Amino acid sequence: MPEMTSSVAAFVGGDGERSPALTLPAGVDLTAKLGRLTLKNPVTVASGTFGYGHEFHRFYDISQLGAVMVKGTTLHPRAGNKPPRVVETPAGMLNAIGLQNPGVDEVIRTELPWLVSVGATAIVNIAGHSVDEYGEIARRLDSVPGVAAIEINISCPNVDQGGMAFGVHCPSAAAVVSGVRRATKLPIITKLTPNVTDIGEVARAVVDAGSDMLSLINTLVGMVIDIERRRPVLGNTVGGLSGPAVRPVALKMVWDVARQVKVPIIGLGGIVTAPDAIQFLLAGASAVSIGTANFADPLAPLDVIEGIAAYLAAHGHRGVAEIVGAANPGFLGSRP
Amino acid sequence: MPEMTSSVAAFVGGDGERSPALTLPAGVDLTAKLGRLTLKNPVTVASGTFGYGHEFHRFYDISQLGAVMVKGTTLHPRAGNKPPRVVETPAGMLNAIGLQNPGVDEVIRTELPWLVSVGATAIVNIAGHSVDEYGEIARRLDSVPGVAAIEINISCPNVDQGGMAFGVHCPSAAAVVSGVRRATKLPIITKLTPNVTDIGEVARAVVDAGSDMLSLINTLVGMVIDIERRRPVLGNTVGGLSGPAVRPVALKMVWDVARQVKVPIIGLGGIVTAPDAIQFLLAGASAVSIGTANFADPLAPLDVIEGIAAYLAAHGHRGVAEIVGAANPGFLGSRP
Amino acid sequence: MPYIGRATVTAKREFARNMVSITIQCPAVAQESLPGQFVQVRAWPGPGTAADPLLDRPLSVAGVDKQKGTFELLVRVVGRGTRLLASVPVGETIRVTGPLGRGFLEAAGAAGPSILVGGGVGLAPLKFLAEVLTAGGHEVLSLVGARNAAELPPPGELAGKVQVATDDGSAGFHGTVVALLEQMLTMVVFRSGRVPAPVVYACGPTPMLRALKASATLLGLPVYLSLEERMACGIGACRGCAVRQVGPKMAAGEVKMVRVCHEGPVFAAGEVDLDA
Amino acid sequence: MPYIGRATVTAKREFARNMVSITIQCPAVAQESLPGQFVQVRAWPGPGTAADPLLDRPLSVAGVDKQKGTFELLVRVVGRGTRLLASVPVGETIRVTGPLGRGFLEAAGAAGPSILVGGGVGLAPLKFLAEVLTAGGHEVLSLVGARNAAELPPPGELAGKVQVATDDGSAGFHGTVVALLEQMLTMVVFRSGRVPAPVVYACGPTPMLRALKASATLLGLPVYLSLEERMACGIGACRGCAVRQVGPKMAAGEVKMVRVCHEGPVFAAGEVDLDA
Ligand SMILES: Cc1cc2nc3c(=O)[nH]c(=O)nc-3n(C[C@H](O)[C@H](O)[C@H](O)COP(=O)(O)OP(=O)(O)OC[C@H]3O[C@@H](n4cnc5c(N)ncnc54)[C@H](O)[C@@H]3O)c2cc1C
Ligand SMILES: Cc1cc2nc3c(=O)[nH]c(=O)nc-3n(C[C@H](O)[C@H](O)[C@H](O)COP(=O)(O)OP(=O)(O)OC[C@H]3O[C@@H](n4cnc5c(N)ncnc54)[C@H](O)[C@@H]3O)c2cc1C
Ligand SMILES: Cc1cc2nc3c(=O)[nH]c(=O)nc-3n(C[C@H](O)[C@H](O)[C@H](O)COP(=O)(O)O)c2cc1C
Ligand SMILES: Cc1cc2nc3c(=O)[nH]c(=O)nc-3n(C[C@H](O)[C@H](O)[C@H](O)COP(=O)(O)O)c2cc1C
Ligand code: FES
Ligand code: FES
């Protein structure tokens, strides 16, 4: 049964092997226009899952990506939380890295120049303990070459102060965004937390405060307990749930937000394959991010880019924008 | 390699085969005391995943369960939502059944007597469109033989009016509970939705309103899009996410609520195995419910009961209560 | 009581393109199954050890050998569950729950001359039905549709008379199996004025069933359909597979749902709403 | 650049109780691997087709055959990932990423007379190290600990001199491998006054490493440890496996994290905090 054998092979040892270069169909323009931010293609990689890109650049040329959202960057260096920091869960994982990063000045000094040197489009994800701190980080990044946009992380569940605390209430979320808005002319993406009763409300608040775009979702708060030691597995007790497990929740939130704001949305949460990504585009996201999937399959973003292109070609579309929001009757954003 | 073969066998074709009767170690008392509600053991089955028990009684004697939470019951019969009503997701599923049920009078007339006749402990899950309707259903159930408790479902994401709308705000949640409290002397369990910013706040509100116990979590709202048809897979557009995927989120919420209220908690969300269930007990749940796992392994609750008993025996405990909250330093409930 | 537990794969062969016949040793299912009933199958770890795919997959019983205690599945590989099942090596065990649901002859009430109409995997339950009907001495005509010749079952696989139809005309009638039925019914059955009229049993994609329901109703033949609906439990508990009951038996304004996995999968065509 | 792609399982054998040796055809990994480096392995579908288990599993390279282009893993079956790996039939492919991380000799800077201390799966990288060291003409003494005789590797599996210790005394020294080391060091090495002093390389459970760090530091020997930490990416991207750097090189108040998967898994004992 030769055909059976080939259909079976894909099931042992993970998904397929692929070349580190992209193969794209002719006649499809993958350019993603997100307001005044234009990306080569709609596939970006999510903050915290890609470091500053070095590790993945060993496997493929990361300038092929729509953008690299770098690890959450703070004003001062942070060591992060105590181990264990990660634990696997059904179709997902919890992380409580705690924003380990070398601080914004070091990122400006070494990481951003390197990203520029390899031709990558860099978006800097920032996190602070106070409205002022967010503003200060943004100010330092404002005129740095190679920063395409700032992504405001008001949704990190793994730090004591700040982080998600800002993102669950409209007034504080809006205050952070206004502060950053005053500090920079760069395009601002605000990254929303799913740990709220009504994400649409927060979305509207941060757009009103001047956010040019939104990205969603960050992680859901979760935990795992070690039943032999009778204590949480993570050193930080709780962590953020990500990966395929959360995809239906993320998609629903993108769907909702796309009906309530007109700004471009970057959709993420559990995307592994092109069909996953296409669901988010059809729901109303103008671009997507690949997060946890990078850990399970470092080449996943390349498959997603190619798969989106193939889907567009197969359905006779010439550009990505043609399918953005196409499954969502209430989509508010603009389409060509 | 004979040992390898045996360790490998468990991986093809699902988890093990088992007898429909329980094998329990001597010297372990599984009784679960939830205030004035006493259950044979702490393992119940979740509303909506067990019908009224008939289907599972073909496979094993359901009187062996701690309790059966019957399908969400409304004042009048409901046909439920249009198909498709279920779709699989990574390590989970979405459902949008829409509370298909024959109405409270029919449940009283046929289902409850049957449950009594087989010796099952029945808890009736109720859902209404208004505070009055919840009260009326509770009133009709109040003096019916064989109703061990009422579980108030203010967390169903799959109905247009009522359902989850009540559960996401403290005042409406409290109003439903007060109404039911006035209508019945039966123990009241309030089932909380995870789709909120602060579940502890809702928990405190419903306990203040007279809920004897809490159960959590109901499903997370989610969706899946069919990328070929470009529309949501579910007839109802959105559905409730359940199964192992949500377990870390559920556990974290049980952990939080157990630090904020003193009443007994029934923990659920993605429990499949005894180690999963024990995590919830250690976090502070006095009992657990098995939901979606019943679909993937109809005998799962029996494995969970046996596994909890074996764990207690192996660790020298004589009763379940000894481990309730044992991993949670802030546990507020009482332990012997 | 349906069986639940392990069962061993004893043989596999390619039945048609992308469709595998799998023989499974399981005396309980072999003894009890009736044509049109199905089993829930899990051919991968879990749910405790690995939770994705989470749910079992429903598959019709395509035949039984009561002597040997085996039954057959005809599986079209369409996604990850069916692919994992097709990849189980002979000799390994899978988990089986069943037989489940109500079969063709239980729905119809009696056996007699029959026309079986099947497309794609709809073949599976019809193969079993053809066997049981011919063994009972009833006349059987099977109309088998496929996209092309490669997807057709090999000749001789189905008991009784068989006519085939392909979408591309690469074998048999050029067109749908329903069009073939229409042609045959007007030409053969009615011209012969035969009594009793044959019963039509069908299984296949919903659009095919809809078309069939329309034509056969027109011709006044009793039609029984095996439906497919997305399932979670497969045993009647979740109400996930419910379809709306329709027809003369229903009171005005009455809404009644039936479960494909429990009251079905076989229903009289007039009994269920295929348009939801 | 580490290899990423499929590789074929060419042999399997039971190495010790519950521990399997798996040989994998993968010339890139066979050529490039150094003792102490590891690979990330996925021996099940996904992540796209099935997402549970989600993450690859890190496993040390236990030996290479550059001629044949194969490398060896020694896998203790402790959970679902290792069990799925152990169940892959010979001839099937798995996905391999590697080699990854920094090995023993890169951490130490030079090869010389060595004492290898391993418990449980800690054996895997030490087997490779012993081979490379003896092939380089260096004296090697391996101290292998296990709970009991059945869990010990068969004699002759490790190059160089081997001494064993079991917790239950069913073979060799009765006690921990660290206690055995203490006894040997005071008795043999120091009494002989040999120069240069041997380097100690160790891999095993953290409590063992902690005990070893304490005793060896006491005796003034250089010690290199291969650490294990829960990993998500295994390639340095997620910062999930970070441990705190300590020691004289650090400025007062300075906090620096190192990644077990990238700066490690081998570190000088004095360089990392084992107590977090
Ligand atoms: C009562 C019954 C009997 C059946 N008998 C057979 C049989 O004998 N032989 C056979 O090959 N198949 C049969 N099927 C269909 C079979 O169950 C599905 O093909 C199988 O579950 C798909 O699983 P998968 O993991 O391979 O596909 P998935 O990866 O789950 O899905 C593959 C594709 O099919 C779609 N899909 C999956 N399930 C359904 C559904 N229920 N309805 C509509 N679309 C769906 C998905 O959206 C996706 O596009 C039967 C179904 C039912 C309900
Ligand atoms: C650099 C490195 C090299 C390794 N080399 C080898 C090797 O050569 N041979 C070998 O057999 N093993 C080795 N391991 C350990 C191996 O990676 C784990 O045993 C394996 O990942 C467990 O996977 P599983 O799915 O079987 O277990 P799981 O089902 O994931 O877990 C089984 C049990 O182990 C616990 N556990 C799982 N992972 C860890 C962890 N990282 N730290 C602490 N507890 C954990 C779980 O909580 C659970 O109790 C190595 C680990 C690292 C980091
Ligand atoms: C290990 C890890 C670290 C993360 N760090 C950050 C971070 O620094 N800033 C941020 O905004 N999001 C961070 N996230 C969240 C991801 O960017 C993403 O929003 C989330 O994981 C959901 O997407 P996914 O399911 O595709 O991973 C992190 C996620 C993971 C798994
Ligand atoms: C098919 C289905 C139907 C459900 N119906 C109800 C219901 O009627 N009432 C209710 O309170 N919860 C209902 N639930 C929610 C479950 O009781 C449970 O809270 C949820 O599924 C999480 O647990 P699990 O992950 O173990 O399934 C339903 C869940 C499923 C999957
Ligand atoms: S699939 Fe659950 S009732 Fe039919
Ligand atoms: S495991 Fe991700 S950085 Fe080490």
Cα–Cα dist D106/D98, whole Å:
16
β-pair type (B122-126, B67-73): parallel
Quick one: pLDDT band at residue A2, thresholds 50, 70, 90? very low
Q: Ligand 4 atom 15: the closest Cα is on which residue? A: B218
Let me know if domain C3-100 sits in CATH 2.40.30.10. yes
The tens digit of pLDDT for each residue in A289-336 reads: 999 999 999 999 999 999 999 999 999 999 999 999 999 999 998 765
Partner-chain contact B90 D17, CB within 8 Å:
no
B269/C contact by beta carbon, under 8 A: no
Which chains have 3 or more CB–CB distances shorter than 8 Å to chain B?
A, C, D
Q: Residue C76: which residues within 8 A CB-CB, separation 6 or more? A: C18, C19, C82, C120, C121
Partner-chain contact A7 C12, CB within 8 Å:
no
Burial of residue B87 (number of CB atoms within 10 Å: 0-12, 13-18, 19+):
buried
Q: Residue A63 corresponds to which tokens in the numbers above?
A: 């300038």
Structural domain that includes position B198? 8-323
Is it the case that residue B114 has pLDDT exceeding 60? Answer: yes
Nearest neighbour of D51 by CB, restricted to A56, A80, A272:
A272
Tokens 């459902």 correspond to B95
Judge whether B336 lies within some domain.
no
Is it the case that residue B160 has pLDDT exceeding 50? Answer: yes
C14/D contact by beta carbon, under 8 A: no
Residue, of A12 and C71, whose pLDDT is higher = C71
Closest Cα in chain D to B10: D83
pLDDT score for A278: 98
pLDDT score for C56: 96
pLDDT score for B204: 97
Nearest neighbour of D233 by CB, restricted to A54, A272, A294:
A294
B159 alpha carbon, closest ligand: 4
pLDDT score for D220: 77
- Chain A partners within 8 Å of B225 (Cβ): 251, 279, 282-283, 327
CATH number of the domain residue B79 falls in: 3.20.20.70
D230 alpha carbon, closest ligand: 2
Distance from CA of D96 to the nearest CA of A (A): 8
Overall domain count for chain A: 1
The tens digit of pLDDT for each residue in B10-25 reads: 445 666 678 899 999 9
The yes-or-no answer on residue B156 being catalytic is: yes
A133 within 8 A of A140, measured Cβ to Cβ: no
Length, in residues, of chain D: 276
The tens digit of pLDDT for each residue in B278-332 reads: 999 999 999 999 999 999 999 999 999 999 999 999 999 999 999 999 999 999 9
Length, in residues, of chain A: 336
pLDDT score for B5: 40
Instruction: Return the beta strands (E) in chain A as ranges.
Output: 32-34, 37-39, 43-45, 67-73, 86-89, 92-95, 122-126, 147-153, 188-191, 213-216, 220-222, 225-226, 231-232, 239-242, 265-267, 287-290
CA angle C11, C12, C13 (to 5 degrees): 130
**Chain A interface disruption, residue of D80, D84, D233, most A CBs within 10 A:** D233
**Residue C61 Cβ contacting ligand 1 at under 6 Å:** no
**Chain D interface disruption, residue of C44, C49, C83, most D CBs within 10 A:** C49
Judge whether A286 lies within some domain.
yes
Q: Residue B145 corresponds to which tokens in the numbers above?
A: 């033989």
Which CATH class, in words, describes the domain spanning C229-276? mainly beta
pLDDT by position in tens, chain D (length 276): 899 999 999 999 998 888 999 999 999 999 999 999 999 999 998 899 899 999 999 999 999 999 999 999 999 999 999 999 998 889 989 999 999 999 999 998 888 888 899 988 889 999 999 999 999 999 888 999 989 988 888 888 888 888 898 999 888 889 888 888 887 776 555 445 555 678 999 999 888 899 888 887 767 788 999 999 999 999 999 999 999 998 888 887 788 899 999 999 999 998 999 876
**Mean pLDDT in residue range C62-87:** 94
pLDDT score for A167: 87
Residues 2-31 of C with CB under 8 A from A: 12-14, 17-18, 20
Partner-chain contact B7 D14, CB within 8 Å:
no
The tens digit of pLDDT for each residue in B31-89 reads: 999 999 999 999 999 999 999 999 999 999 999 999 999 999 999 999 999 999 999 99
**ipTM entry:** 0.95
Is it the case that residue A73 has pLDDT exceeding 50? Answer: yes
Q: Ligand 2 atom 40: the closest Cα is on which residue? A: D230
Residues 93-122 of D with CB under 8 A from A: 93-95, 97
Quick one: pLDDT band at residue C110, thresholds 50, 70, 90? confident
- Distance from the CA of D262 to the center of ligand 6, in angstroms? 7
Judge whether B328 lies within some domain.
no
A79/B contact by beta carbon, under 8 A: no
Domain parsing of chain C, residue ranges: 3-100, 104-227, 229-276
Length, in residues, of chain C: 276
**Mean pLDDT in residue range C167-178:** 88
B228/D contact by beta carbon, under 8 A: no
Average pLDDT along chain C: 89
CATH of domain D104-227: 3.40.50.80
Q: Ligand 1 atom 38: the closest Cα is on which residue? A: C230
The tens digit of pLDDT for each residue in A132-176 reads: 999 999 999 998 999 999 999 998 776 666 677 888 999 999 999
Residue, of D253 and A279, whose pLDDT is higher = A279
pLDDT score for C221: 82
Domains D104-227 and D229-276 are alike in CATH topology: no
**φ/ψ of residue D242, rounded to 5:** -65, 140
Which residue in A67, A137, A156, A176 is the catalytic one? A156
Residue, of C275 and A78, whose pLDDT is higher = A78
pLDDT score for D213: 86
- Chain D partners within 8 Å of A88 (Cβ): 53-55, 232
- Distance from the CA of A233 to the center of ligand 2, in angstroms? 14
**Mean pLDDT in residue range B100-127:** 96
Judge whether B241 lies within some domain.
yes
pLDDT score for B4: 39
**Mean pLDDT in residue range C225-240:** 95
Quick one: pLDDT band at residue C152, thresholds 50, 70, 90? confident
Quick one: pLDDT band at residue C196, thresholds 50, 70, 90? low
B187/C contact by beta carbon, under 8 A: no
B280 within 8 A of B324, measured Cβ to Cβ: no
Q: Residue B144: which residues within 8 A CB-CB, separation 6 or more? A: B108, B112
The tens digit of pLDDT for each residue in D241-261 reads: 999 998 888 887 788 899 999
Judge whether B272 lies within some domain.
yes
Tokens 């236990």 correspond to D62
Is it the case that residue B163 has pLDDT exceeding 80? Answer: no
Q: Ligand 3 atom 29: the closest Cα is on which residue? A: A48
Which amino acid belongs to residue D210?
Answer: R
Is it the case that residue A5 has pLDDT exceeding 50? Answer: no
Is it the case that residue A77 has pLDDT exceeding 70? Answer: yes
Bridge partners (DSSP) of residue B247 are: none
**Residue of C216, C263, C209 whose CA lies nearest to C235:** C263
Partner-chain contact B251 A220, CB within 8 Å:
no
Pick from D228, D231, D262, D272 the residue to mutate for probing ligand 2's pocket: most ligand atoms within 8 Å of its CB. D228
Judge whether B334 lies within some domain.
no
Is it the case that residue A3 has pLDDT exceeding 50? Answer: no
